[in-house]
Structure 1
Amino acid sequence: MGEVEINGFDEAGTIGNRLHFIRVGICEPEQLRPLIYNILHFGSFSLSKNTLRSFDSRAQREYLKTILRDKEIKVNYYSFSPENEVRLLKKFIKAEEAMHFNQRGKLLDAFLSDDNEKLRESVDKTLQHLKQYGTPDLRSEFFIKSHAYRIIIEDLANTSRLLSRNDGNRHRVYSYIDGGNPFTFWRKRFIENDQTGYFSSDTPIYGVTKGDEYYPTINMAGNIATITSQNPSLLYPQNVRDIKLMENTEFDEFYSDFYDCMQKTVFMNRILFFGNINTDLQYLIPFSLHLQNNHQVFEPFRIGYDGRSAESSLDKFYRRFYNRASADTAVMGPIRTQIDRDMKAAFERRGVTVKDCSQYVTQVTNLINDVCEEAERSALGANELNRIKTKAQNTITRISTR
């Protein structure tokens, strides 16, 4: 049996400017290190990019230095230039135009026929086609960034410690990309068509909604991307790889898969949080489930109250993120208000399994204890180790108290 490597990927930047992509690779025994470094530098197990930006540049620099000193963590830097973004966007627009023209031709053929059933079917397909274009800016962003991730994943053959070995062992290399399925729709064809011998069923690739907050390795990649994009001088003297454009034959298949993906939203094991849940508990529940269930991906969402009713709050969520209520799990905090009771009832009417967050306290406590054990194995000073243990004990006390 070989070793296991965990890879997290995230990016920072906006389309039209230089995009910064980061890959963080950690072998499985050290995969809790990102949680340790978050506590030491930011005081919490995890944090959003907005929260990270609220820390001064000195704290961010010290965090980055700590990671780069850790020999168990490998960081790779990638840059997508505005020039290549524009070239890719031009090809994308041409492909979109061709798809629209093809759809138009099918609709006209149906109108000119005497077959009402054919016309009805063609109109339905056209409406389904047009639904994809409600947010064109987001659509183009998905395409450009997913293209970048596709190129970066291919580079794992060079950057992964395990894939680059040729020791005869069957290693398993997991890749987790922030953002969910719109950024990883290409993974099946990529693995099936691989000619290098590096990628197979032992190199699974997952897109994770909100992975930059809930999954430690992705969170670390997102933190580094955010810090270095705000202060590019911190990239020195790192080797920043340029992201190239794929060949035309690959592009056509890539666009076809993208078009199919955008017609239906896909999620894995959604967890819907509502109510007053301790922040650390909420952040650690999906990852603790992930560890308990052999690397299954659990995608978290926070369901807010829209100010009108619980039903309309859920309606908005399911309209935007696809209605698969029977497969969802809702996790609630302590019921303290009428809104909490209404939200619980609204979930149950839709057939969503509702669980109290207290059901997860034991497994999250075990995870926190594992973090402490990993800290003890790390090369931390006594003061740093004490800070980790203090944070751990305070968190366990808070999440165990209703």
Structure 2
Amino acid sequence: MPDVRGRVRARTVALGALPAIVVLVLLALVPITPAPAAARAEEGGGAGDVGPEEFESIPAYDVVLAIAANGDLHVRETITYDFARGGEHGIVRRLPYRRGDRLFEIRDVRTSSSTGAPARARTRRLWHDLLISVGDDDRTVRGRQAYVIEYTVSGAFTPGAVHDELNWDALGTSWDVPIREAAVRVEAPVVLRKVRCRSGTSESATGCLRDRDGPYAIDFTQSGLRPHESMHVTVLLPKDAISVPPPRRARPHWAVTWAGSGLLLLALAGVAGVARGGRTVPGDRGLVPAGRGRLLVALGGLLVAADVSHEVARHGVWAVSVGDASMGGVALTVVGTAIVSLHRFPIRITQRGPGKGNRVGDEPPVRTDRVRRPSVLLVRSGRIAADDVTRGTEPRRRARRTAERWPGGR
């Protein structure tokens, strides 16, 4: 009997331990994944303890829009950027300085970094955006870095009959990485009554979360923004609450009217008519002096430069605007170039009838054309007689001697 009870007890223990053994086996088969970077940072350590992630992202994006009494907009952006394992040289912030024909002046750009990353600022204009590059081409940064970008915008407000309106893209839609947490604070010297915020894209925009409200400051927050999504803020201030200058507008890139187009077409038609006719009189008296042609080319170039230089000098080469003055300059350049070309090829062949020194039989008269170098073969064949070649440069003298040697052609 003792042996039987021992065997029964052993079987009972084994059956009771079977579920625990199954659980342990399942746990061993499940892969253990490390905690996210944000969770590790919250558990023990600051931002400096978080290593670089596999993909880039913006963990936090804080913006302060401070409205000044003179209508300027002072912006302070604090961007916490998490670089990938490969590292980068810094970040690039794109700011629009032109929307359609509306112009904004962006000035007083300052940058810094609270994490010690290189924060030298370089600005350049590309198409309708101002690109602010923050970093150093000779140094690579990894992990989580914090950058601060400050600048002032003039001409951001649009005056209205009842309200002065501000529409501003607080984050920009040029970021190719997701933004986990974003916050926008609007400050004004007057009481803020009509302020709203929309997040996402223009096609699918949703309202932002209103965090804290005050008489002179309002905060908005948004989380989980995908790449190229932003926060758009609209502020309506009572008329004359602040000083709002009239908006600055640029001419469109193509401002040519029918007058400028007609002038250019008229010049092209005149040159084409002269080239198609191809008849000139011997000697230089029938031509406009080449010096006047060069003068027309110079005047046309100056007219084009004067028309486009104003916008380019103030807003960059991408703000070029072509108008009627430019078309007039192009027309002068076309006419002047045609005149110079006529003098560059000065050899003339006069029209001669059949049998007058040419062995052409009853063929139609030789058409008057302009050639640069008289061909000896043409002279020998009788298509060009000695009297058809004017005296002048050495090629013409050689052709004339050839024509005199075979007066009637061969």
Q: TM over 0.5: same fold?
A: no
Specify which structure has the higher proportion of strand.
Answer: 2
Structure with larger Rg: 2
Specify which structure has the higher proportion of helix.
Answer: 1
TM-score for both structures, normalised by structure 1: 0.21
TM-score for both structures, normalised by structure 2: 0.21
Q: Which has the bigger relative contact order, CA under 8 A and spacing at least 6?
A: 1
